[in-house]
Amino acid sequence: MKYLPGITKAALLLLISTISASVAHADVVYANQDIYAAGQTTPTLALSQGGGLNPTLVPIVGASALQFIVTGGPITLNDHGNYNNADGVGAAVATSSNTGYGSISGITAPNAGYLVGLFVAPGGPSGSAPASLNFVTSGTGFSTLSPLLDQVFFIGDGLTGNGTGSLQTFIVPTGATQLYLGISDANGYNGAPGFYFDNTGNFLVTTNFVAVPTSPIPEPSSLLLLATGGLGLLATVGRKRLGLLSIHG
């Protein structure tokens, strides 16, 4: 039994080091920040697409996966009092979509006004836009998501449920060094990017670096039982060996 505390301590240290996260960035994301203007050095594109601002830039060099803690809000995408949270709940429509812009994909998701992200390479969005993700079809309760470069993806409140559940993990695609955070909006909530001028409010977003998920690690109580069972097995084997020695001795 003298080895049990050491085994338990090592297991707990492994558990803590695996689930711990270092804060990468803490930002304010405004309702009029146009995700489709990512990579622009001036706000010209965002302004031309409806009076918006460039999205928030988060450096992610060296990160393999991210999690988000989202607070603040609600925001509104219009002047009619249709306020929504980070998951878009409370918006004026059941679903919304965007066709994207240039090398940046569009997106389809439940509600509207949800927080979105975009991973890009050092040179910014380039080439043909990847396929648009459809979160109406796939749902927003995923535990892990692996977006492509230049592919707009749903973040919402960063949880598997609306204001509840566990933190979702977003795998950083190969070659990505930057993350943009913003909002997807369009005239009538569907179509090309636009109509950011009447959006108000903001979300507070903390971006954390985390490890890429692997197989689940047993809880400390399970590890304790496993260690105890292993010691019991060794004791049983020892007794059997002693019994054999007494028979043949």
Q: What is the pLDDT of residues 161-170, one digit of tens each?
A: 999 999 999 9
What percent of the chain lies above the pLDDT cut of 90?
69
Per-residue pLDDT band at 199 (split at 50, 70, 90): very high
Tokens at 175, concatenated: 């070659």
Prediction pTM value: 0.78
| Mean pLDDT, residues 99-103 | 96
| HSE of 235, CA atoms in CB hemisphere, 13 A | 7
Q: Is the pLDDT of residue 98 over 80?
A: yes
- Contact criterion met (CB below 8 Å) for 65 and 210: yes
Cis peptide, bond prior to residue 216, ω within 30 of zero: no
| Mean pLDDT, residues 102-126 | 97
Mean pLDDT for the chain? 83
| Mean pLDDT, residues 193-203 | 96
| HSE of 207, CA atoms in CB hemisphere, 13 A | 27
Tokens at 93, concatenated: 């429509």
**Residue 54: what pLDDT?**
96
**Residue 8: what pLDDT?**
52
Exposure string (b/e) for 179-192, b if CB count within 10 Å is 16 or more?
bbbbbbbbeebeee
7-65 pLDDT, tens per residue? 454 444 444 444 445 667 899 999 999 999 999 888 899 999 899 999 999 999 999 99
What percent of the chain lies above the pLDDT cut of 70?
77
**Residue 92: what pLDDT?**
86
217-239 pLDDT, tens per residue? 444 444 444 444 444 443 443 44
Do strands 178-183 and 115-120 pair parallel, antiparallel, or not at all (unpaired)?
Answer: antiparallel
Q: Is the pLDDT of residue 144 over 50?
A: yes
| Mean pLDDT, residues 145-151 | 98
Q: If we measure between CA atoms, which residue out of 5, 18, 21, 20 comes closest to residue 217? A: 18
**Residue 22: what pLDDT?**
60
